[in-house]
Every structure is written in structure tokens, then in C-alpha cells.
Amino acid sequence: MKKVKVVQSVLKANATVAESNRQRLASAGCVAVNLMSAPGSGKTTLLERTLMRLAGETPCAVLVGDLQTTRDADRLYAFSDHVTQINTGRGCHLDAAQVAAGLDTIDLPRGGFVFIENVGNMVCPAAFDLGETHRVVLLSTPEGDDKVAKYPTLFQAADAVLLTKTDLIDVLGFERRQVLEDLAHVNSSAPLLELAVRKNVGLSQWLAWLHEQRAALQTLLTEQTSAYQTGMSPVTS
Amino acid sequence: MKKVKVVQSVLKANATVAESNRQRLASAGCVAVNLMSAPGSGKTTLLERTLMRLAGETPCAVLVGDLQTTRDADRLYAFSDHVTQINTGRGCHLDAAQVAAGLDTIDLPRGGFVFIENVGNMVCPAAFDLGETHRVVLLSTPEGDDKVAKYPTLFQAADAVLLTKTDLIDVLGFERRQVLEDLAHVNSSAPLLELAVRKNVGLSQWLAWLHEQRAALQTLLTEQTSAYQTGMSPVTS
């Protein structure tokens, strides 16, 4: 019983810090996207291309979680000055306190995007709220079409699922239909976007999704401000 | 401080059960292989082919760790009657107590192999001794050539590293050299075996490695018995 209590208290403490991160991000009008997936599904490559496409148009910052190297952050520095590496040591996921410390190191990109690249792991990151506004889960085709059923908790909480490396589908014998069927059981509201990032396939669809989330957040924040100014209670989610 | 203490006591309790598993496996002369990797690197496919090749020749049993489905065990049942599913719920790795419970459900394959397919995860399984005799880590080429450097703890403890899906190397721009360089830093003694399992490439080399480990264990156990019979202290590792 002791173990359970400690786990619960860790999650409770995390939730408090996550809520504070959420307020902080909302006050700057930032869409904060927590990217989660197995190792090697293409999170960093997606971010490289995303930063390249958003450069000069929408302000962005990136927090990158990794056990001990700075390899992903080094790759992303080529595309943005606003990249912070969070090394978790042996920690298998990011937590809200690490993200809070990461946010301290950057100027929040007002009205733009904060991308949080989680540690490559399909289990533990799902349990830790970071205070993000959106959760995006990547599934690369070489991992196999059974992964939604095998790691349902991760997919349940996703706001969008990205099927990556779709250019390999024909070589692999991957069944898209299986993913769609399993996803219908665990999460019927998250859209499935298909990408082959290195071949620039699907990037426009992904950027359109990002901009939709940003527009929706701006609308929500405007409504809250206007409700507050007219004396109504502010809407909190 | 409390959190650290609990983690330490969990690992200490695990080590005690792992030692008991190890004695139990040794007394039956079993080579017990703990297979670890990211999700979708090909553990189950490798086991399917391995069981097929060893059928009627060497006794085998399999314990399969998964969060909640029986998909991998179902696949392996086609090749062996001695397959036990261990569902970990939200647990991101197998532990020694789960393996002990799994061993209770099978007749130990005397002088043969017990394969333990861990939960797909490159972080947490590395910290938990299961009482295995050998640790084998799979790295599939689509995951990228940077994974040894990014997840060193997993590779440090490996007795062999299997580079899988090598038939995709040319499509991916994967650098074998990078893996070898990083491996030389973290673990210079583990051999790197290259496999494209679905194309039957590298399987003979993998089976030869397995048989070498089995022969070495038999020699060690014979020496221990003979030392014991002549009144010397038994060798324990």
C-alpha cells in the first residue's frame, strides 16, 4: 500500500505544478504541444520541419526531453534559437516540474507555439500532465499496426495522432485499417494525420491543424477577457 | 528523500526475487534470455522464427510481457504450447515477481531456453533484474542510428545487441558505423548481430549465439557439480 500512496502523491504534486504551467502558458496565449511516442518515431525530424515552416511567421520555442544527450536539441538549434534541453537522467518521462524549469529558461512565444518533445516511451509519459494545451502522439509505421491496441493509455489522451513514415507502408505490410479500427475503440475524437516528413508529405495538413488549435485558443482567451470585463465569471477549463 | 527510499526498496526487493529466479532456472539448466527494446523493434517476430527453428530440437518456453493485450502471446502460441502472457496493466516493465509467477505456470524446459519478452520500452526495463541469464537488446534500423547514445543504460547491460530490420537500411539512410562507435563507448563486449528476420537473414548467426550460451552454461553447471562432488566450494556467480 505504501508504494501506491507514494505514486499517488507524486502524481498529485505533478498535477499542481502542471496547473501552474497551464496558467502561465495561457496568460501568454501559447499553444503548448506535448509530443509523445516510442523512440525513433520521428519527433525531432517533425519538429525540424515544423520550425522551418513556421520561421518568421509564428513565434515558437521548444523544450526537449532526453535521458542524457543533447543530440535532439543540437539538431533543433539549427532551426530556432529558442530550444532548451531537459535531461531526465534515468527518468523515463518528463514531469511538470521539469517543464516549469524549462519554461523559466525561455521567453514565452506570445500567441505562438511551445513544443515539448517528451522522452521516447509509449508508457510512462501518458501518466504525467505537463500543463500542455494539446497532446500529440506519433506512431511510425515500422513499429507495427498493433500499437494502438497495445498502448491504449497513450492514445486515449491524444488530441491528434500522427501516423509517420507512411512512405514505408508498402515495404512493411502495415495495415492502416487496423490502426483506424483500434483508434475508434480508444479515442474516436482525435484526427489521424498521415505524414512522411522527410518527403514533405502531410506537413501542410499538420500545420493547418496547429493553426486551427491556435485560432481556437485565441478565440477562447478573447471570450474570457470579454466575459471578465463585462463582470461575468471567467471561463476556466 | 522519501521517494528515493521507496525506489531503492523496490529495487532491493526485486533483486531478492531475481536471485531466487536465477537459482531456479540454473537448477533446471535453462538459458533465460530477457529480450528488451523499443515497441515495434521485432521481438515477437524474432521469437516466432526462433521457436520455429528450435522446435523438436531444443525445449523452449516463453513469458511475454504486455500492458493489457494477449496479441503477442497469441502469435507465439502458433509455434509453442509453452507460452505464458504476463499483463503488467500500466506497468512499463516486467519485474522479478511477475517472472516468478510466470515460471510457476510452465514446466521449465530442462537444458533449454526460457525467452522473456519484456514490455516495449528502452528505459525502465533496464533497471529491473529478472533473474535472467542473458540480456539481449534489439535495435531496429527505423528507430535511427542515434539510439545507443540516447539510451546507454539499456545497451550497457546487454550480452548481445541485435540490429533488426537491416533490409530497410538503404531506404532509411541509417549509419551502421554510428551504432558501432556508440556501442564501443558503452559496451565493447556485446556482439552486434545483424538481422532481417522476415527475410530469414541473420537467423543462423542468432541461433548459433544462443547455442553457444547454452553450451557455456552446461559446461559451467558440470564444473560446479564436479567441484561440489570433489568437496570444493560450488562456484556461484
3-state SS, residue B69? coil
Q: How far apart are CA B128 and CA B150, in angstroms?
A: 19
Q: Which of A64, A95, A123, A141 is the best residue to mutate to test the B interface, defined by the most B CB atoms within 10 Å of its own CB?
A: A123
- Strands A160-164 and A134-140, how do they pair? parallel
Handedness of CA A33, A37, A39, A40 (dihedral sign): negative
pTM of this structure? 0.90
The mean of the pLDDT values for chain B is 92
Cα separation of the two ends of chain B:
33
> What DSSP designation does B197 have?
G
Q: What is the pLDDT of residue B122?
A: 96
Q: Which pLDDT tens digit goes with each residue over B35-51?
A: 999 999 999 999 999 99
Q: Which of A10, A67, A144 sits opposite B151 (nearest CB)?
A: A67
Q: What is the pLDDT of residue B179?
A: 97
Q: Which of B143, B153, B156, B164 is the best residue to mutate to test the A interface, defined by the most A CB atoms within 10 Å of its own CB?
A: B143
B93 burial class (0-12, 13-18, 19+ CB within 10 angstroms)?
Answer: buried
Q: How far apart are CA B113 and CA B34, in angstroms?
A: 11
Q: Does the structure show a pLDDT above 60 at B4?
A: no
Q: What is the pLDDT of residue A3?
A: 45
Q: For the stretch A96-111, what's the b/e string if a residue is b when 16 or more beta carbons lie within 10 angstroms of its beta carbon?
A: bbbbbebbeeeebbee
> Between vectors from CA A126 to CA A125 and to CA A128, what angle results, nearest 5°?
70
Please answer yes or no on whether A39 and B90 come within 8 Å at the CB atom: no
> Per-residue confidence at B1, pLDDT binned at 50, 70, 90?
very low
Q: Does the structure show a pLDDT above 50 at A29?
A: yes
Q: Which pLDDT tens digit goes with each residue over A45-73?
A: 999 999 999 999 999 999 999 998 898 99
Q: What is the pLDDT of residue B3?
A: 44
Please answer yes or no on whether A147 and B69 come within 8 Å at the CB atom: no
Q: What is the pLDDT of residue B50?
A: 98
Q: Which of B92, B122, B149 sits opposite A71 (nearest CB)?
A: B149
Residues of B in contact with A10 (CB under 8 A): 3
> Per-residue confidence at B226, pLDDT binned at 50, 70, 90?
confident
Q: Which pLDDT tens digit goes with each residue over B91-115?
A: 899 999 999 999 999 999 999 999 9
The mean of the pLDDT values for chain A is 92
Q: How far apart are CA A137 and CA A161, in angstroms?
A: 5
Rounded mean pLDDT, A76-95: 92
Task: Please report the beta strands in chain A, taking only residues with DSSP state E, as ranges in sequence order.
Answer: 31-36, 60-66, 83-87, 113-117, 134-140, 160-164, 192-194
ipTM of the complex: 0.86
3-state SS, residue A82? coil
